Amino acid sequence: MKDPNSLPQDPMLAELVSMARRKKITRRAVFAGMGGTAAAFALAGCAQEQSDLVWHNWDLYMDEDDEGNRPTLQRFTEQTGIRVDYKIEIDDNDTYFGKVKDQLELGQDIGA
């Protein structure tokens, strides 16, 4: 039967196990973690609420009445308080992707 306190033969694994065994969880560490979590929640509560949405789409994909209004988007804004900036920007998948490709590769918002 293997000794439960023995270390693995792999030196890297043995060092990791040894380090884990040496680390003790103290009350101070628990309270520090709780404090950090509380601070994160407090700061999240201070964040500015998003009230606008930019939406790029193809032509004829959203309903439009005779006056040029979009009833579905109006109802959405009334129900959520989020204003939609609806833009017909996509005429072809390849063309649109060519416009936003560089921003997407950099992880940037494309505003759509």
Does the predicted model carry a pTM greater than 0.75? no
Give, as one character, the DSSP assignment of residue 107: T
Looking at residue 10, its pLDDT comes to 77
pLDDT tier at 70 (50, 70, 90 boundaries)? very high
pLDDT computed for residue 47 by the predictor: 57
The predicted-structure confidence for 19-34, as pLDDT tens digits, reads as follows 777 766 677 766 666 7
Residue 30 has, within 13 A of its CA and on its CB side, a CA count of: 4
Residues pairing with 83 in the sheet:
52
